């Protein structure tokens, strides 16, 4: 079924484009051949709000060291709370 769709798109398009099925490794190899320079961002992607609309922008990709400290300290506080309760 997918081959029929690809053939249809390739034979009936008005632009100079070819659609094909690929594997992830072929895709990454094609990206490497393009020699694209991806920008590196060092600033944090604020805000984290966690309120009305729950923003959480960049939470999993920025400041991993600070987040590890927060996790470790939270685990320590939870352990202390269990001991004292």
Report pLDDT for 23: 93
Angle at 22 between CA 20 and CA 25, to 5 degrees: 150
Contact predicate 29/18, CB 8 Å: no
* pLDDT tens digits for range 21-38: 999 999 999 989 998 888
Tell me the two tokens of residue 78: 């939870």
CB-based burial, 9-37: b 16+ in 10 Å, e otherwise? eeeeeeeeeeeeeeeeeeeeeeeeeeeee
Residue 75 has pLDDT above 80, yes or no: yes
Backbone region of residue 63 per phi and psi (left: phi > 0; alpha: psi in -120 to 50; beta: other values) = left
Can you give the residue ranges of every domain in the chain?
2-34
How high is the pLDDT of residue 8?
Answer: 93
């Amino acid at each position: 079924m997918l081959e029929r769709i690809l053939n249809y798109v390739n034979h009936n398009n008005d632009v100079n484009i070819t659609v094909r099925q690929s594997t992830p490794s072929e895709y990454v190899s094609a990206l490497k051949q393009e020699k694209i320079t991806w920008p590196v961002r060092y600033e944090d992607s604020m805000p984290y709000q966690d309120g009305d609309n729950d923003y959480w922008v960049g939470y999993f990709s920025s400041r991993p060291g600070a987040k590890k400290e927060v996790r470790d300290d939270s685990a320590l506080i939870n352990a202390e709370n269990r001991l004292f309760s």
